C-alpha cells in the first residue's frame, strides 16, 4: 500500500461576503457513496481516540472545526497527518490502522463512511493488525 494515501486532499470551497461552504459528496471530494456520518467533539484534553483499523470500510475524515492529528499506519509505513482546516480531507482506506491525537478544545472531527457500523469490520488489537498485514 502506498503511503500517498496518508495525505490530505482539498475539498471544494465556495464562498462570498456571506461566508464559506465546503462540499464533499460522492464524486466531488468523496470517492464513495456515503452510508454513515458521525462526528467527534468535546474530546477531553490529552485523550486519544481510534486505535483500530477497518477490514472493508472506507472513510473520509474532515476536522470541520479546530484541529487534530491522525496517526496512519498501513502495516509498513506510519505517518501523522494534521487536519487543521475544513477544506482538508483525509481518506482512510480499509486495513489502515488509525489513531486520533492532539485535539484542540474546539475540534469537531467529521467522518463519512461507505458502510453502516458493523463491529465485525473493526480490528482493535494492533498486534493482530500487524500480523494480518504481514509485517515482520
- End-to-end CA distance of the chain: give it in Å, rounded: 16
Percent of the chain with pLDDT over 90: 71
Q: What local confidence, expressed as pLDDT, does residue 14 receive? A: 87
Please give the CATH number for the structural domain made up of 3-9+22-133: 2.60.120.10
Q: What local confidence, expressed as pLDDT, does residue 4 receive? A: 57
pLDDT band at 9 (very low <50, low <70, confident <90, very high): confident
Q: Which of 98, 32, 91, 34 is nearest to 62 (CA)?
A: 91
The catalytic position among 7, 35, 52, 54 is: 52
Place of cell 463519512: 112
More confident residue, 94 or 21: 94
Q: Take residue 51 and report the three cell numbers written for it.
A: 486505535
Report the length, in residues, of the chain: 136
Summarised one tens digit per residue, pLDDT across range 50-76 is 999 999 999 999 999 999 999 999 998
Summarised one tens digit per residue, pLDDT across range 91-130 is 999 999 999 999 999 999 999 999 999 999 999 999 999 9
Q: 23: which strand partners?
A: 12
Q: What local confidence, expressed as pLDDT, does residue 13 receive? A: 85
Report d(CA 68, CA 108) in Å as an integer: 9
Locate the domains of the chain by residue range. Answer: 3-9+22-133
7 is catalytic: no
In angstroms, the Cα distances linking 136 to 15, 23, 56 are: 49, 41, 23
Amino acid at each position: 500500500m502506498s503511503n500517498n494515501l496518508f495525505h490530505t486532499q482539498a475539498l471544494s470551497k465556495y464562498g462570498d461576503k456571506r461566508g464559506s461552504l465546503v462540499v464533499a459528496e460522492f464524486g466531488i471530494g468523496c470517492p464513495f457513496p456515503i452510508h454513515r456520518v458521525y462526528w467527534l467533539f468535546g474530546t477531553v484534553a490529552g485523550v486519544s481516540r481510534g486505535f483500530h483499523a477497518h477490514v472493508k470500510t472506507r472513510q473520509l475524515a474532515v476536522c470541520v472545526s479546530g484541529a487534530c492529528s491522525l496517526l496512519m499506519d498501513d502495516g509498513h509505513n506510519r505517518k501523522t497527518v494534521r487536519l487543521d482546516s475544513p477544506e482538508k480531507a483525509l481518506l482512510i482506506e480499509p486495513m489502515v490502522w488509525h489513531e486520533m491525537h492532539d485535539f484542540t478544545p474546539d475540534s469537531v472531527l467529521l467522518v463519512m463512511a461507505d458502510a453502516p457500523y458493523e463491529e465485525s469490520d473493526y480490528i482493535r488489537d494492533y498486534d493482530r493488525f500487524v500480523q494480518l498485514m504481514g509485517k515482520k
